[in-house]
Amino acid sequence: MNDKQNIFSGIQSSGFLTLGNYLGALRNWAKLQHDYNCIFCVVDMHSITVRQNPAALRQRTLEILKLYMASGIDGDENTIFIQSHVSAHAELAWVLGCYSYMGELSRMTQFKEKSGNQHENINSGLFTYPILMASDILLYNTDLVPVGGDQKQHLEITRDIAQRFNSIYGNVFKIPAPYIGKVGARIMSLSDPTKKMSKSDENVNGYIALLDDADTVMRKFKRAVTDSENEIVFREGKDGINNLLNIYSAVTDETIKQTEQKFEGKGYGEFKTAVGEAVVECLRPVWAKYRELSENIDYVEEVYKQGAEKASHLAERTLKKVYKKIGFIPAR
């Protein structure tokens, strides 16, 4: 092992990815990959808290793996794998479930939201979801978890569970910290900028799918909801403009201030077109790499198979330690 710190993060394969996933998570992963030991996982087991069509789930899982790599994450340098390939995640989740409380789980915003949306399928997986996520993270001695702002609460419960376990059994788990980027941490819907950009938005104009084509991206930005003023400044109450400024500065790496200055005196129409164009330019290399990987599925397969092997090795070590501390008799 080297002396770099460890990163773990993941994305569910419950649908296609959006610009929110890209700016809140993927882009930061690509930026951090050379300075940390990175493990990136497609968390397919988390996806089944919502009913999935089996063929679509298989397709999405592969699509997301390819998008990880298309976003610039090097498949040889980093460990990229599929959660259901490493059984230790489910095994540790059982253990940690016995050290998690109903009260803290029922306070999770994501559970409250999701159980509010799917009345007919409020399954227990939806409730215990944060325990599986804690297991994902804690199995790999993770220092840092790069995520969007919406995952902060899940990181907090992960830390609480780890600290609780450590207080009983000694220093078993490393306590992870979230890494939330300054810009892009919360990309909002283009049609209702008071809501998070999400693939489950009923209005397709609300989100940019990472694999939308250039014309679609431009069209959606041109339709983006703004306000009745005509001033491109970041200010409370200007949710639409704030979101566009945030997106523009995230994809161009300019500060919000620089962007405001650049568009001073310009109209909203011109600004929306500029944001659309900047996003298209940012995504072009992702699209090209994605196409390339789609023609090289053998390589993609090799990456996730090797990834699972490396991840299993690390995860088994942690699981063994946990079992020993608890008092389970070693099988071998």
Q: Using CA of residue 235, residue 194, residue 190, residue 292, what is the dihedral sign?
A: positive
d(CA 245, CA 240): 9
* Close Cβ partners of 89 (under 8 Å, ≥ 6 residues apart): 45, 83, 132, 135, 136, 139, 315
181's tokens = 């980027």
Answer yes or no: 199 catalytic: yes
Q: Smaller CB distance to ligand TYM: residue 18 or 295? A: 18
Q: Smaller CB distance to ligand TYM: residue 144 or 300? A: 144
* Minimum distance, C-beta of residue 315 to ligand TYM, in the bound complex (Å): 13
Q: Which stretches of the chain bind ligand TYM, using CB under 6 A?
A: 8-12, 20-21, 23-25, 43, 46, 133, 136-137, 145, 147-148, 150-151, 154, 185-187, 196-197
Choice among 114, 220, 238, 272 that is catalytic? 114
* Minimum distance, C-beta of residue 247 to ligand TYM, in the bound complex (Å): 10
Q: Smaller CB distance to ligand TYM: residue 27 or 272? A: 27
Q: Smaller CB distance to ligand TYM: residue 53 or 228? A: 53
> Is residue 67 within 8 Å of 286, Cβ to Cβ?
yes
Answer yes or no: 324 catalytic: no
CB atoms within 10 A of CB 10: 25
Backbone angles phi, psi at 188, to 5 degrees: -100, 165
20's tokens = 């929110």
Answer yes or no: 66 catalytic: no
CA angle 157–163–167, rounded 5-degree value? 145
The residues assigned a catalytic role are 114, 196, 199
